[in-house]
Structure formats: structure tokens, C-alpha cells
């Protein structure tokens, strides 16, 4: 498997993936870090498998890993392996950038488990996501 930094042209594919997984309103480019380029894409043999975004917090020693998404039509086992690879990649990126913490908030049980498998600690069972457009 290979990892690379997201590029703006990945957004259309990610938007398709979000729709395939039932997202009515996927994140817009201007909501994503670096206008859609602030994250990681995992692929194998030229096929994109999954991606996620890393918000870098400038006034704290923490990064925020969010909006993980995968190519739903691919084999579940391959997606799982790629998601684990992505979590490890995010951890390495954040370490290299000097962050001490990575924050993540999720609903998907599989993605939660991939993060727990790699040292993330659950801090609660329920949460409400709120966003305000200014």
C-alpha cells in the first residue's frame, strides 16, 4: 500500500465516496483543511482505497483527524487493511510535525476500532456534532 498527500483533484472522488456511504451533504472544499489538500490518501496498485483529513491546530499541541472515507465498492478486508494503514500514516505525520495529541470524533464502529487498535483512547460514548456557517 502507498500513502500520499491529498490533492485538490481528489475531492470529486471523495465526494462520490461520501454519497455512496449515505452522506447527504459531504464536506465542502472550503471546510476541509488546505482546501481539500490537508490529508492523506491510501491506494494500492493505482486504485484509491481510503482518505482522511488532518486539521493542524496552531494554538495547541493537537491535530484533528476527521472525515475518514473509503471506496465502498472495494473488498471489505482490503478497505480494513487500508484504514489501519491510514491511521498509522496519520500518527506518523502528526509525530513528524511535532504534535503531542491527535483528536478524532467518529460514529462509524469500524473506524473507531481501527483507531483504538492503534492506541487511541475512547473518551465518551455519545457526542453531538455541531457546525455553524458564518
Domains of the chain are: 2-117 (3.40.630.30)
Contact 56, 33 (CB under 8 A): yes
Query: Alpha helix (H) ranges present in the chain?
Result: 11-20, 76-96, 109-117
Contact 42, 49 (CB under 8 A): yes
pLDDT in tens, 100-124: 999 998 888 888 888 889 888 888 7
Burial of 33 (0-12, 13-18, 19+ CB in 10 A): middle
CA–chain centroid gap for 28, Å, is 15
pLDDT in tens, 52-80: 999 998 899 999 999 999 999 999 999 99
| Overall pTM surpassing 0.85 (yes/no) | yes
pLDDT of residue 128: 67
pLDDT of residue 123: 80
Amino acid at each position: 500500500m502507498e500513502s500520499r498527500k491529498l490533492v485538490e483533484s481528489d475531492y470529486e472522488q471523495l465526494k462520490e465516496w461520501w454519497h455512496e456511504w449515505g452522506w447527504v451533504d459531504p464536506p465542502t472544499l472550503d471546510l476541509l483543511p488546505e482546501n481539500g489538500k490537508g490529508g492523506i490518501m491510501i491506494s494500492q496498485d493505482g486504485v484509491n482505497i481510503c482518505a482522511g483529513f488532518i486539521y493542524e491546530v496552531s494554538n495547541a499541541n493537537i491535530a484533528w483527524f476527521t472525515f475518514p472515507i473509503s471506496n465502498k465498492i472495494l473488498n471489505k478486508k482490503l478497505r480494513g487493511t487500508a484504514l489501519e494503514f491510514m491511521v498509522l500514516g496519520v500518527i506518523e505525520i502528526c509525530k513528524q510535525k511535532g504534535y503531542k495529541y491527535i483528536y478524532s470524533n467518529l460514529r462509524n464502529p469500524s473506524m473507531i476500532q481501527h483507531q483504538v487498535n492503534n492506541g487511541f483512547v475512547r473518551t465518551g460514548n455519545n457526542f453531538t456534532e455541531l457546525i455553524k456557517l458564518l
